[in-house]
Amino acid sequence: MNNILAVLVYLGFGFFLSRVKKFPKSTSEVLNLMVIYVALPALILEKFPSIPLDSSILIPAVTPWVMLVLSVAFVWVFSKAFKLDRPTTGCLYLLIPLGNTSFLGFPMIEALLGEKAVSYAIIYDQVGSFIALSTYGTAIVALYSHSEESFSFKKVVQKIIIFPPFISLVLAIILRFTAAPPQSIQRIFETLGSMLVPLAMISVGFQFKGSFERKHLPTITTALAFKMLIAPVIMFSIFKIMGKSGLPVSTSILESGMPPMITAGAVAMSMNLAPKLAAALVGLGILFSFISLPLLKYALSL
């Protein structure tokens, strides 16, 4: 409970700072860069080498791709049933499969499941959400936006291999099989990695938009209900049938219930894919997550 309270305080602090005129509109962008280039790579370098390399890591590695398939199927059925226009459909294809599994995910996973669960959350985010955004997300933008940008496998690979957290993941894998860095370096990783939660949540609070157009309410309600409640329950049922349990499973279920990804929302808005709907899904999703994630944890006994 204390960890969740801290996350809420950081979120509120960011929201407060967004109302202080001395802070420029680009503040959240700077905070995001600090997370991407400093805090998240340090956290990966600190946590990943200690992850046990056994079959348990397959669960957080595979779950996001199962969620992608489920989410695409949902959006296809939903868009056909309600005859949604092309920009709205593209927005949902982009935001519903892709979750906020790092900026919000890591703090919430640590708050609800403890520090050890963050290692599995890293696997979920880096092997799933990040690569899915770079590949699937790029394809959706190319198909549904009116820009001249087209899907390029070469560009996708380039984006992946120069992304700082991915570079850190590769380095962490190398360290896992060679020699661990000295304690002095480990402490530096730990200190820098500990900045992720406050930086990420202050950034989210700074960007937070809770407004929406009334005409979007049925779409928002249905889409968020599926993404943040129904889909995680489906994953829970699949794991139950398979006889799987434990921290990797609990982490994967909660990560699968994260609200829509902030970056995916920003892409949808910049490409004019129902920008007001995208902003509402991201903002209201974050707000709802403080109810839905604890609800999932306790209702499913994770």
For residue 240, pLDDT over 90 is answered with yes
| Residue-level pLDDT at 210 | 64
Q: Which residue has the higher pLDDT, 54 or 268?
A: 268
Supply the pLDDT for residue 152. Answer: 66
Are the beta carbons of 92 and 222 closer than 8 angstroms? Answer: no
What pLDDT, on a 0 to 100 scale, did the predictor assign at position 157? 73
Contacts 24+ apart (CB under 8 A), 84-87: 84/219, 86/144, 87/144, 87/272, 87/273, 87/274
pLDDT of residue 257: 96
Whether 1 has a pLDDT exceeding 60, the answer reads: no
Q: Is the pLDDT of residue 212 over 80?
A: no
Domain layout of the chain by residue ranges: 2-20+27-206+215-295
Indicate the pTM of the whole model: 0.81
Averaged pLDDT score across all residues of the chain: 86
- Per-residue pLDDT, averaged over 275-289, amounts to 87
pLDDT score of 129 more than 80: yes
Confidence of residue 201 (pLDDT cuts 50, 70, 90): confident
- Residue 73 is predicted with a pLDDT of 97
* pLDDT at residue number 252: 96
Q: What is the DSSP string of 42-75?
A: HHHHHHGGGS--SGGGHHHHHHHHHHHHHHHHHH
Model confidence band, residue 150 (pLDDT cutoffs 50, 70, 90): low
d(CA 24, CA 9): 21
How many Cβ atoms are within 10 Å of 104's Cβ, its own excluded?
Answer: 24
Say yes or no to pLDDT of 124 above 70. yes
Distances (CA, A) of 101 to 6, 65, 110, 204, 286: 18, 13, 12, 13, 11
In this prediction, residues 241-259 reach a mean pLDDT of 94
pLDDT for position 236: 96
- Residue 223's nearest CA partner among 298, 151, 274, 297 is 274
Q: Look at residue 299 in the predicted model and tell me its pLDDT.
A: 92
Comparison of pLDDT for 98 and 157, the residue scoring more = 98
pLDDT of residue 75: 96
- Over the stretch 58-79, which tens digit does the pLDDT of each residue have? 999 999 999 999 999 999 999 9
Distance CA 185, CA 191 (A): 10
Cα–Cα nearest to 180, from 35, 40, 47, 41: 47
Q: In the structure, what pLDDT confidence band is assigned to residue 224 with cuts at 50, 70 and 90?
A: very high
The arrangement of secondary structure in 2-20+27-206+215-295, i.e. its CATH architecture, is: Up-down Bundle (1.20)
